[in-house]
Structure 1
C-alpha cells in the first residue's frame, strides 16, 4: 500500500471517529410527547447549519395525521421571506411508542431516512427542540411565527444546556405577517 493511501485512510478513520458537535453531551429525548401537540404548523426559529436549508428563511413544518404516522411538509423561502418557495415532503412514524419522542422521517418515497428526537418541549410556551439522533442537526421550532425575546432566550439557553454550540445557530428571517 502506498504511503499516500495509508495517510488518506488514517485521516478518514480519524474523521469517522470524530463525534458530531453535540453527540457527547446530547440529552436523551423528553420523557413523553403528546402526539396531538405535534400536529399543525411549526415555524423555524433557529437551526444548526445544513446544506438542504442553506439560504432558507421563513421555514415551516406542517404535520398532519396520515395512517399510522404523519405527513410532514417542510417549506422555506430561498434568499428572503418573500423568495422562491422550496418544499420537502416526508412521512414520519413514531420510532419509540413508549415516549413518542423519537420519529423516523422518510423523504423522497423512502430513499432517505433519518431519526429525529424531541429533546425538549414547552407546550405552555409553544416551542420545541428537535434534533437528529446523532446531534448533527437541530431546530428550534415554534407554534407561532416568532417567539417573544425572553422565551427565545430561554429556549436558546436550553439548547446550550443540552450540549450544543449556540454560536453555530442560524436564526433565519421569520415569516412576515
Structure 2
C-alpha cells in the first residue's frame, strides 16, 4: 500500500468514525442478537458473491478491491468457503475455510472457520455468520455476527441499483447496526471508491 492509498483508507475510516460520532447508532436493544432470516435455502445461497460493502476487519485490510466469496458443498455436507481479493500491491490474496450450519431451523446461522487463523480454527462452534436479510431472488445478502462487530453486504453482481442500496441500508438499520460503519468495497464494474455507506 503506497502513501496515497493509505491516506485514502485512513480518510475513509476517519469519515466513518466522525459520522458515527455525529449521528450515533440506530436505536436497538444491545442485549438482543441480530435475527436471522426465517429460512435460508442453502442450495440457492451457494455460488459466487461479490463484497460491495463491509465493516472493516483486520483480516480484510490487505484487500484493495474485488473481494469475493465462493461457497460450495463439501464432501461432509458443510459449505466450503473460498474468499479472494486483489491486494493494494495488485496481487491476489485468498483464504479457504468451512461454514457449518448451527441453526437447522432457519439454516441462516453458521459457524465459519479458517485453519491457521487465531480464534477461527475450530470447524464447529457457535454461530459467527448470521444472514439477516436477503434481496429478491437471492440477489444480495446482509451478513453479521451475534455481537454486531462485523458486517458484509454481498451481491450476486458487482453493482446494485439505488433502490437495492436503499433496501440494504434499511436492512442494516433493522439489524441494529449503523450504515456509517460500513465502508464500500471497490469492485470492478461497481463502486470504485472507499466511503461510508451512509454517505453514498
Between structures 1 and 2, the one with greater strand share: 1
Match of 2:86 among 69, 77, 91: 77
User: For 2:59, what is the secondary structure of its paired residue?
Assistant: coil
Deviation per residue, 1:26-56 (Å, 9 max, x gap): 5311111001111100000110111111142
Alpha-carbon distance in 1 for matches of 2:181, 2:140: 20
C-alpha displacement of 1:88: 1.1
Instruction: Please state whether the residue corresponding to 1:108 is helix, strand or coil.
Output: coil
| CA pair 158-98 structure 1, distance change in 2 beyond 3 A | same
Note the 1:118-137 alignment, pairs <5 A.
Answer: 118-124=131-137, 126-137=139-150
For residue 161 of structure 1, report the CA deviation from its aligned partner.
Answer: 2.6
Cα RMSD of the aligned pairs, angstroms, is: 2.2
Query: Which of the residues 50, 58, 72 maps onto 1:51?
Result: 58
CA deviations 1:125-165 (Å, max 9, x no partner) are 60010112221000010011111122122212221232211
- Separation in 2 of the partners of 1:69 and 1:23? 32
User: Paired residues, what number?
Assistant: 154
Whether the 8 Å CA contact 1:94–1:100 is kept in 2: the answer is yes
Does residue 155 (structure 1) correspond to residue 168 (structure 2)? The answer is yes
Does the 8 Å contact 1:23/1:135 carry over to 2?
no
Q: Distance in 1 between matches of 2:99 and 2:29?
A: 23
**Corresponding position of 2:37:** 30
The 5-angstrom pairing of residues 35-114 of structure 1 reads 35-56=42-63, 57-66=65-74, 67-79=76-88, 83-108=90-115, 111=121
Q: Which runs of 5+ in 1 are unaligned?
A: 1-21
| Structure ID, larger Rg | 1
Distance 2:122 2:159 in 1: 30
Q: TM-score, normalised by structure 1?
A: 0.78
Is 1:145 aligned with 2:158?
yes
Would you say the 8 A contact 2:44–2:138 is kept in 1? no
